[in-house]
Amino acid sequence: MQDPCQLVRKSFGDPVAADLRYVVKSVVGEENFVDMTPNFSNNFCCGGGGGFLQSGYAEERRAYGKVKLDQILTTKADYCITPCHNCHAQVHDLSEHYEAGYHTVHLWTLICLSLGVLGENERVYLGPDLADVNMPPGAEE
C-alpha cells in the first residue's frame, strides 16, 4: 500500500497510516498484506503529486517514479493499493510504462470487493484473478 504524502506525512501523520493498514488488512486478510519499505511517514512520494502529472515533464516524472516502482516490485505483491487520486494515476502509469505487471487499485474498490458489493462495472482496475471474485448476486452475466 502506498502512503499518500498528502494524507500521511502532510496531514495526519503515522496514526492515519496505521488506520489505513488496519482497514487494508481487514479487507484483504493479514496474510495477504505485504508492506513496502520504507513506509508510514518515511515512505517515498510516488511522483504524481504537486502537479507533476500535468507538468508536461513525463520522462522526468517516470524517472522519479522509478524509486516507487522498485519499492513495489521488491514486495512481489500483485496489487498496489493507492488511497489517493494522484497516487493512483501515477502508480498505475508506472506499472503500464515499465510493464511491471502489478495492478493498481483504489481503496474503495477493495473495500466493496470484500463486502461482496462491487458491481461488475466497478472492476476496471482489478486483474483477471479478482475480476469475477465475490460478484454480487443478480449481477448480469
Partner 1 sequence: MAEEVIRLKKKKGSTLKDEIAKILPEGGNLNLCLTCGMCSSGCPATGLHDMDPRKFLRMAALGMDEELKKHPWSWMCTMCMRCIYVCPMQINIPQLVFNIRGQWPREERPKGILGSCDMALRNDTCSAMGTTEEDFQFVVEDVLEEVRETQPGWEELEAPINKHGAYFFLNQNSREPVTEPDEMVPLWKIMHLAGADWTYGTKGWAAENYCMFMADNDAWKHILEVKVKAVEDLGCKVWLNTE
Q: Which residues bind partner 1 (CB under 8 A)?
A: 5-6, 9-10, 41-42, 44-45, 47-57, 60-61, 63-68, 84-86, 89, 106, 108-109, 111-112, 115, 117-119, 121-122, 124, 136-140
Cα separation, 24 vs 81, in Å, equals 9
Assess contact for 46 and 91: CB atoms under 8 A: yes
- 128 or 138, CB closer to partner 1? 138
CA dist list (Å): 98 to 48, 68, 101: 16, 12, 8
CA dist list (Å): 107 to 33, 40, 84, 95, 129: 13, 16, 9, 18, 17
Whole-number minimum distance, CB 75 to partner 1, in Å?
17
- 29 or 119, CB closer to partner 1? 119
Cα separation, 25 vs 34, in Å, equals 10
- 19 or 60, CB closer to partner 1? 60
- 85 or 132, CB closer to partner 1? 85
Whole-number minimum distance, CB 78 to partner 1, in Å?
20
Whole-number minimum distance, CB 114 to partner 1, in Å?
11
Whole-number minimum distance, CB 76 to partner 1, in Å?
21
CA angle 57, 60, 66 (to 5 degrees): 140
Give SS3 for 140. Answer: coil
